[in-house]
Structure 1
Amino acid sequence: MIGSATIPLRRLGKSDIHISALGLGTWQFSKGNGMVGRYWPVLEKQEIQEIVNISLDGGINWFDTAEVYGKGKSEEGLADALNSVGEKADDALIATKWWPVMRTAKSIPKTIDERLDALKGRTIDLYMVHQPYSFSSVRAEMDEMARLLKDGKVRTVGVSNFNEEKMREAHQVLANHGYPLVSNQVKYSLVDRRIEKDGTLDAAKELGITLIAYSPLEQGLLTGKFHKNPDLIKKMSGPRKHFSTFKPATLERTKPLIDLLDRLADEYNVTTSQIALNWLIHFHEDTVVAIPGATKKHHAEENIGTLTFKLSQEHLDEIDMVSRDVSIK
C-alpha cells in the first residue's frame, strides 16, 4: 500500500494495473523549461517533494508526466521527488508520453531510453502517444508501441487527445498484437463535456478503455475563486489570464454551476473544487479518472480530500443537469 491512506483502486483499462481515481498531473514540474514549461511558475525541488509526498500519503498512487513538459524536466523532477521519499514510493506508478509532432513512429523506440533516463530508471507503467498529429499513421505508432511492450520497456500503452475513430483504430492495432489499449487522456470537465457528444466516452465504455481527464478544474475556473473575485485573473501567471475561460461572459454563464457546487461544498463540508472532481470520478463509475495538478501543498491536500467521500446519486444527477446548461456546446 502506498502512503497511509486506504483508498479503493480501479483497474486501468484491461490491464493488471490498479490506480487511484485521481492521479497527480505534473505539467507544473517543468521548471519553466520549453514553451509549455513557462505556463506555470517555477517550483523548487522542496516544493515538488512536498506535493508528491502529500499525494502519496493521501492515497494517490500514480503520477502523470510527459516528454514535452519542460523537455523532460517534469519527468526528472517527479523521479527525484519519488526517489527522495524512499520505500513509500516503491509502488508508485508513472504515466508519461511520447511527443509525436514533427516526428515519425520510428522516434518511439529511438527515444524510449531518453524517457527512462529522465525518470532515473523508474518503470514506465503507462506510455502514451501525446497527440494524434505526426508524420506517421496510428497503425505505425501502435506497431512501435507493441514492440516496446514485447521488449518490456513499458508496462501498458495508451493515447491522448484521440477522437473515437483514432482511438478505435489504436485499440484494434494493439489487439492484433495481443495487447489492450488501456487509456485515452482527454480534456473533460463540468464545463467541457464534448467527449460525451462525439462518441469518445461511449466507445471507451464499450472497449474497456479508461479515460483520463485533464484540466478537470478548467485551469482553476471550477474552484469558484475567480467568480468570487475576478480581480484574481489579472494576477495570474502565464497566459491563462487571456483564455476565453476567464472572460466575463464565461464567468457569468457558469455562475449557476458554481453556485450549486458551493452549496454542495457547504453540505458535504468540503471545497468547491472537491465537489467538481468528485462528480468527475463517480458520474461514469470507473470509466473516468482525473489528473488535477498542484502548485502548492494545499492544492495536493484538496486533491486527496476528494477521495474521502462520494456524492449521492441525487447530487450527481443535479450537478449533471446544471452542468449541461452551462458547458461548451
Structure 2
Amino acid sequence: MKNTKPTSRRDFLKSAVVLPAAVAALPATVVAADRTEAEPSTALPMRKLGRNGPEVTILNIGGMMSAHNPQYLDLAWNMGIRYFDTADCYMNGRSEKNVGAWVNRYPERRKDAFIVTKDHPKKGPEELLTMIDRRLENMGIDYVDMFFIHGIGPKQYGKDSLDWPKSDRLKDVFDELKASGKVKYCGFSCHDKKLIKYLHAAAEGGFIDAIMLR
C-alpha cells in the first residue's frame, strides 16, 4: 500500500543526510533508474529570498557535491529542492559544467530551477560584466537566476570593497547585468570577519538583492 503520510521536516532532514552518502556509493545506472519513480509532484516549501524575492525552496544543494557526483542533482530534485548553488572555483569549474549539463538535460525544469553561481572580481566590480559570459559559457546556459561576488572581504578585494555594497559603482554594474538578461538577481557572499561592515553597507545602499553568509 502506498504511504500517504506527509513527510515531517525531521524525517526529511534525516533523509537529506543519509541519502547523499548512499547515492555516492551506487552505480549511476541505479540512481538514474530510480529518479523518475521518485519524482515529487511539488517542490519543498518556498520562502522569499532577499529583499526583492523570488520564492525559493527552504533547502538548496551546494555545487561541491554535484562536482563529485552529478547524480546528486537528480536526487536533490526528487527530494523537492529547486535551488542549485555553484561557483567558478568549485572543482576548477567542473561543478558549473555538471549543473549546466543537468539543466540542459531537463529543459522543462528550467523555469522552476533557481541557478546560482559566483565569481571573484578582484580588480573591481566591472569585471563581473565579462565574468558572467565565462560563467554562462562554462555552464552552456543563457542566464542565471543569481550572480554573487564570491567571498567578499578586504583581504581578497581590498579595503575599498567595504564600500562596494553602497556604491554607485557596484549598483551600476548590477543594473547592467540585469538589463542584459544574463542575470536576474545580484548579491554577494561573505565569510569575512568584516561581515557586519558589509551588511551595514548593503543596508545603506539598498540595491543588494541577497547575501550569502555564515
The alignment status of 1:67 with 2:94, answered yes or no, reads no
* 8 A contact 2:64–2:90 mirrored in 1: yes
Distance (whole Å) between structure 2 residues aligned to residue 52 and residue 59 of structure 1: 11
User: 54, 57, 64: which is aligned to 1:20?
Assistant: 57
- Per the alignment, in what secondary structure is the counterpart of residue 172 of structure 1? helix
Offset, 1:164: 2.0
Offset, 1:70: 2.8
Which runs of no fewer than 5 residues in structure 2 stay unpaired? 1-38
TM-score, normalisation: structure 1? 0.45
* 8 A contact 1:79–1:122 mirrored in 2: no
Distance (whole Å) between structure 2 residues aligned to residue 6 and residue 159 of structure 1: 26
Which runs of no fewer than 5 residues in structure 1 stay unpaired? 31-42, 188-329
Give 1:112's aligned residue: 132
Q: Give the 3 Å change call, closer, same or farther, for CA 152–168 of structure 1 in structure 2.
A: farther
Distance (whole Å) between structure 1 residues aligned to residue 52 and residue 203 of structure 2: 13
Give 2:9's aligned residue: none
Aligned residue pairs, count: 164
Give the aligned residue type for 1:22. Answer: L
Write the mapping of 1:128-277 to structure 2, written as runs, cut at 5 A. 128-132=148-152, 133-135=156-158, 137=161, 138=164, 139=167, 140-161=169-190, 163-173=195-205, 175=206, 180-187=207-214
Higher relative strand content = 2
TM-score, normalisation: structure 2? 0.67
Distance (whole Å) between structure 2 residues aligned to residue 3 and residue 124 of structure 1: 24
Q: Give the 3 Å change call, closer, same or farther, for CA 123–171 of structure 1 in structure 2.
A: farther
Give the aligned residue type for 1:17. Answer: P
* 8 A contact 2:85–2:117 mirrored in 1: yes
* 8 A contact 2:146–2:184 mirrored in 1: yes
The alignment status of 1:77 with 2:98, answered yes or no, reads yes
Give 2:47's aligned residue: 10
* Root mean square deviation of aligned Cα: 2.3
Distance (whole Å) between structure 2 residues aligned to residue 27 and residue 142 of structure 1: 29
- Per the alignment, in what secondary structure is the counterpart of residue 83 of structure 1? helix
Distance (whole Å) between structure 2 residues aligned to residue 85 and residue 170 of structure 1: 36
Give 1:53's aligned residue: 74
Distance (whole Å) between structure 2 residues aligned to residue 63 and residue 125 of structure 1: 10
The alignment status of 1:97 with 2:118, answered yes or no, reads yes
Give the aligned residue type for 1:182. Answer: D
Distance (whole Å) between structure 1 residues aligned to residue 139 and residue 57 of structure 2: 21
Give the aligned residue type for 2:151. Answer: Q
Larger radius of gyration: 1
* 8 A contact 1:65–1:96 mirrored in 2: yes
Q: Judge which range, 137-146 or 5-14, deviates more.
A: 137-146
* 8 A contact 1:5–1:58 mirrored in 2: no
Give 1:125's aligned residue: 145
Give the aligned residue type for 2:55. Answer: H
Give 2:16's aligned residue: none
- Per the alignment, in what secondary structure is the counterpart of residue 96 of structure 1? strand
Write the mapping of 1:294-309 to structure 2, written as runs, cut at 5 A. none
* 8 A contact 2:143–2:181 mirrored in 1: no
The one of the two structures with greater contact order (alpha-carbon pairs below 8 A, sep at least 6) is 1
* 8 A contact 1:5–1:57 mirrored in 2: no
Percentage of pairs with the same residue: 24
Distance (whole Å) between structure 1 residues aligned to residue 200 and residue 172 of structure 2: 15
Offset, 1:122: 4.3
Distance (whole Å) between structure 2 residues aligned to residue 112 and residue 66 of structure 1: 11
- Per the alignment, in what secondary structure is the counterpart of residue 116 of structure 2? strand
Distance (whole Å) between structure 2 residues aligned to residue 6 and residue 166 of structure 1: 33
